[in-house]
């Protein structure tokens, strides 16, 4: 596994190292020892999977508040997504900044998103499927979010005609 730190400290793109032969390939997509090399302690307690039937579906921007904050590893296993993480860590020099990465079934990249970040994505193809490895159980009472089009963050989504739930359209705007 190759870890590439983004412009925001603690936020990584993971590239699996493929072992290719005549049968196909083999790749490790999670290894606690490898994560320890970048000083990231991650215990998987839940794995979720989502299907996004149409191009342009936007899910986000979500996070869980402490004490149920969660680390995530996100991978697109079919199709393609534009995956976004926003730094919400109070006191961080990169507070409010965001990083986006295209995750596809072909590039097999993963996004390692630590606690303190909001996360969301937009499907770039019909029938895109995503796996989420989570360090905390889903707790609806701690669920929160930020608005996908909040001018404070100014996230540049690739597809204008988004489809999203009313809940995601109505998260509060950040007060500057």
Catalytic residue list contains 25: no
For residue 44 the two structure tokens come to: 């998987």
> How far is Cα 158 from Cα 14, in angstroms, rounded to an integer?
22
Phi, psi of 83 (to 5 degrees): -100, 135
Of the residues 82, 95, 119, 132, only one is catalytic, namely 132
Of the residues 12, 25, 62, 82, only one is catalytic, namely 62
Catalytic residue list contains 62: yes
> How far is Cα 5 from Cα 39, in angstroms, rounded to an integer?
12
Phi, psi of 26 (to 5 degrees): -135, 140
**Distances in whole angstroms, Cα of residue 97 to Cα of each of 10, 12, 88, 120, 135:** 13, 14, 8, 14, 23
Rama region for 56: left / alpha / beta (φ>0; ψ in -120 to 50; rest): left
Q: Give catalytic residues, as residue numbers.
A: 62, 132
């Amino acid at each position: 596994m190759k870890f590439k730190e983004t412009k925001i400290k603690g936020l990584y793109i993971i590239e699996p190292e493929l072992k290719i032969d005549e049968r196909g390939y083999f790749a490790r997509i999670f290894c606690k020892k490898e994560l320890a090399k970048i000083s990231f302690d991650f215990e998987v307690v839940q794995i979720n999977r989502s299907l996004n039937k149409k191009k342009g579906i936007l899910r986000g921007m979500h996070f869980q508040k402490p004490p149920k904050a969660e680390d995530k590893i996100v991978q697109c296993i079919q199709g393609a997504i534009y995956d976004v993480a926003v730094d919400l860590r109070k006191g961080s020099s990169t507070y409010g900044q965001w990083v986006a990465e295209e995750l596809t079934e072909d590039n097999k990249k993963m996004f390692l998103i630590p606690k303190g970040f909001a996360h969301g994505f937009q499907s770039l193809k019909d029938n895109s499927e995503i796996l989420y490895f989570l360090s905390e159980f889903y707790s609806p009472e701690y669920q929160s979010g930020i608005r996908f089009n909040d001018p404070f963050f100014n996230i540049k989504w690739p597809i204008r005609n988004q489809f999203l739930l009313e809940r995601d359209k109505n998260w509060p705007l950040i007060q500057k």
